[in-house]
Amino acid sequence: MFCTMAKKASWHCGFGNKAFIFSLDVTIAVLVSIIVLSAAVYYSTSTSDSLPTLQMSRTGSDILIVLYYNGTLNSWNSDTIEDEMYGMLPPNYDMRINLIRADRDVSSTVIAGSDLPENKMLVSGKRIFVRTAGNKISWYATAQYWIWLK
């Protein structure tokens, strides 16, 4: 009988179990906040090197696609390709494009842009362009690009 009276007395207390539940909720909330903040700091500091690399890669790929769609790559002239490429390239980047075109039995190569630097970080990518006539492939070209900061 005493145990049941003691339990009932703690239920009617002003704080009792409510204070314990409240402090447990606060502790869990603080723990979750610390985990989320530490994950955000980790990912923001660990991806800082890959963001400029990704930007350079996308810039090189975009320039190559624009050169293809506006017909500059079809000219197969390195001076024309260089002029158009440097017209679109941001001022702090430099680039080199190596085009290898394969017709039926003949292949040809065009190189446009600057020489590759020895001591700079290069970002490279490759795209394949296909020209069709009807249902047949008339030619295809492999375009590899290198892009770097000046």
For 12-65, the pLDDT digits (tens) are 555 556 777 788 899 999 999 999 999 988 877 765 567 678 889 999 999 999
**Contacts of 20-26 spanning 24+ positions with Cβ under 8 A:** none
Alpha carbon separation from 139 to 101, 102, 119, 123, 125 (Å, rounded):
7, 6, 36, 27, 21
CATH of 51-149 among 2.40.128, 3.30.1140, 1.10.1760, 2.40.50: 3.30.1140
Spatial distance between the Cα atoms of 143 and 127, rounded to a whole number of angstroms = 5
Give tens-digit pLDDT for 83-112: 999 999 999 999 999 999 877 667 788 999
Contacts of residue 95, Cβ cutoff 8 Å, sequence gap at least 6 = 60, 63, 85, 89, 113, 114, 145, 146, 147, 148
CB contact at 8 A, 134 and 147: no
CB contact at 8 A, 98 and 114: no
pLDDT at 2: 47
Domain boundaries along the sequence of the chain: 2-46, 51-149
Q: Write the secondary structure of 31-81 as one string of H (helix), E (strand) and C (coil).
A: HHHHHHHHHHHHHHHHCCCHHHHHHHHHHHHHHHHHHHHCCHHHHCCHHHH
